[in-house]
Structure 1
């Protein structure tokens, strides 16, 4: 009888263990399997929230099949304590494992409303937009130029949203003065900027910030990013360039930035200036003359006068024999790379071609013909 009881007990134990193994395996499969969500959603995780409250929200919205398995998976993978506050895009069919990655390992704030303070070449503007998770497209809620346009009611309402994302974007070719002057109107930031950073020292990019972020800290972040960009590009430069220092490369990159807005042309434009420097020719570029007049403090707003083109100033490249003494704007990474890795061309001239790009030439005769075509286009547009 003892053997019978022992045998039955062992059988029951085996069955229990097999059942437990099956349950564990089933739970694991549920954890990594495609989820039931048929349409993407924006999941908001409040500050101080727990995995339990997050799992309850996900269950109610049909994003997961089991809150218990979700929490057990988070505990087992040691990610429960890594939960972040923010607004997160949960795509259709996301598994529990992928959702946990999104709210722990992934970056914060990937959906919801966003305020972007854009500092451009001519003006600054505030754009408020909201992501539609179902289509993964943004809808513009409001756009205005601070200090010029009337502040829309949507702006004040957006600032009351605790989950609003904030971003400051510096456009390629904007000057350091433009950034500092514009940031004064960014009332969601705090602190003062003691002085205008050196021209060219800021990396054009889009920077995520928090409400109450310090303006000077943001500028320091931009400066560090530009230092890293320039150092890496300088280390990877091609041989034989007539540029002796990273600073000279930054100066040339800023000229390339201001001369063309066509990405595909940057290396060609850079090649023209490199060829001119190699041949001892003057650079003869209008943007440097303009910077010498405005100091980067706003647009000139008119054409250059002949007296200004003849005037002997440090930035007048129609008069000086080399690069100007400093950058004339904050160049983006593409222009820095173009200056340090230009196309290999024979070009030493270029002029606008009427399409937004430029016509390049090797000889003065061909260049004059291109100039004549451009003058004709200008005349036709004026009529």
Structure 2
């Protein structure tokens, strides 16, 4: 019995010391690449995969220790996918608490691809878990509050599902969405195709917003991009309805009329050459990629087939035939 105690006591002491050390580590601030730091846990991620994504984003966390703490508090199988933000001072324990599925301190907001900033504001203003610091402010005032050097927030916010601590500021959420868009746009710009007719990355963003509004079918986006890029190269008018609708603004009643196409506004691409002055919606990653890597195609026309896809044509005769077939019921 004495021999057993001589063995067990040191083992127990080691376990107590190890547990104490693990508890101490779990409550120490983590090193972050920058602050605030955004990271995303993709749907279906295991804890190991989530830790890899966090480390790649710039959180200096020890994988084995974090996995051990997660198992102890039973968080290893309950992480929730989404977009997160952390600041200097965050500890492993607080980090795991953010990832716990169904955590009552966490709010969630999905901001949709193709929506305008006006639509995003309605969604944010109606969210019960946000502090509404932007309510009643003009868009220009919000831009100033965010410290951005842009004329509009249109297109500047990345569509995603954002997770946040309840009673966070809506300004903080907008800042995260802006940082996410900058990261995505910069990454696509670096990998852009050759000889694109854009004078700046901002023009590419405008194009991506048009592509986002012109089709919801991901496979068609590079071809839609090719049509508009080809038109820019040839000096043709873009003639895209979504820009006209955006120029009409809140007065648009859902019915685009011929007089609308003839009424000149800065966004009417039937009356003005080139790209409109700002994006017309919030583009997702697929549209950003299409704008900067359009398909290799000579098409300069397209028309909706009625099933969500489009028919692309190189000549006006081909296009007129496609319009007759798919829009007018011709044979």
Task: Give the structure-2-normalised TM-score.
Answer: 0.69
Structure 1 residues 211 and 352: alpha-carbon distance in aligned structure 2, compared to 1, 3 A threshold: same
1:82 alignment counterpart: 26
Q: Residues 214-253 of structure 1 correspond to what in structure 2 (within 5 A)?
A: 214-253=169-208
Match of 1:187 among 104, 123, 128: 128
Structure 1 residues 311 and 80: alpha-carbon distance in aligned structure 2, compared to 1, 3 A threshold: same
Partner secondary structure for residue 207 of structure 2: helix
2:222 alignment counterpart: 267
1:154 alignment counterpart: none
Which whole-Å CA distance do the structure 1 matches of 2:72 and 2:220 have between them?
41
Superposed displacement of residue 75, structure 1: 4.6
Is 1:110 the counterpart of 2:70? The answer is no
CA contact (8 A) 2:67 2:76 kept: no
1:333 alignment counterpart: 285
Which whole-Å CA distance do the structure 1 matches of 2:226 and 2:182 have between them?
23
CA contact (8 A) 1:316 1:324 kept: yes
1:323 alignment counterpart: 275
2:116 alignment counterpart: 175
CA contact (8 A) 1:82 1:105 kept: no
Match of 2:301 among 346, 349, 358: 349
Flag structure 2 segments of 5+ consecutive residues without an equivalent.
Answer: 29-44, 48-63, 83-100, 144-152
Partner secondary structure for residue 278 of structure 2: coil
Structure 1 residues 217 and 246: alpha-carbon distance in aligned structure 2, compared to 1, 3 A threshold: same
Is 1:257 the counterpart of 2:212? The answer is yes
Partner secondary structure for residue 292 of structure 1: helix
CA contact (8 A) 2:46 2:77 kept: no
Structure of higher RCO (CA pairs closer than 8 Å, 6+ residues apart):
2
The count of aligned residue pairs is 264
Larger Rg: 1
Q: Residues 195-210 of structure 1 correspond to what in structure 2 (within 5 A)?
A: 195-196=138-139, 198-210=153-165
Structure 1 residues 320 and 106: alpha-carbon distance in aligned structure 2, compared to 1, 3 A threshold: farther
CA RMSD, 1 decimal: 3.8
Match of 2:321 among 369, 378, 383: 369
Is 1:293 the counterpart of 2:248? The answer is yes
Q: Deviations over 1:2-24 (max 9, x none)?
A: xxxxxxxxxx99x999x78xx97
Q: Residues 94-133 of structure 1 correspond to what in structure 2 (within 5 A)?
A: 98=67, 100-101=69-70, 110=79
Task: Give the structure-1-normalised TM-score.
Answer: 0.60
Structure 1 residues 69 and 167: alpha-carbon distance in aligned structure 2, compared to 1, 3 A threshold: farther
Structure 1 residues 101 and 265: alpha-carbon distance in aligned structure 2, compared to 1, 3 A threshold: same
Which whole-Å CA distance do the structure 2 matches of 1:332 and 1:107 have between them?
31
Partner secondary structure for residue 312 of structure 2: strand
Which whole-Å CA distance do the structure 2 matches of 1:106 and 1:206 have between them?
21
Structure 1 residues 205 and 90: alpha-carbon distance in aligned structure 2, compared to 1, 3 A threshold: closer
Name the stretch that deviates more: 190-199 or 96-105. 96-105
CA contact (8 A) 1:352 1:359 kept: yes
1:358 alignment counterpart: 310
Structure 1 residues 187 and 245: alpha-carbon distance in aligned structure 2, compared to 1, 3 A threshold: same
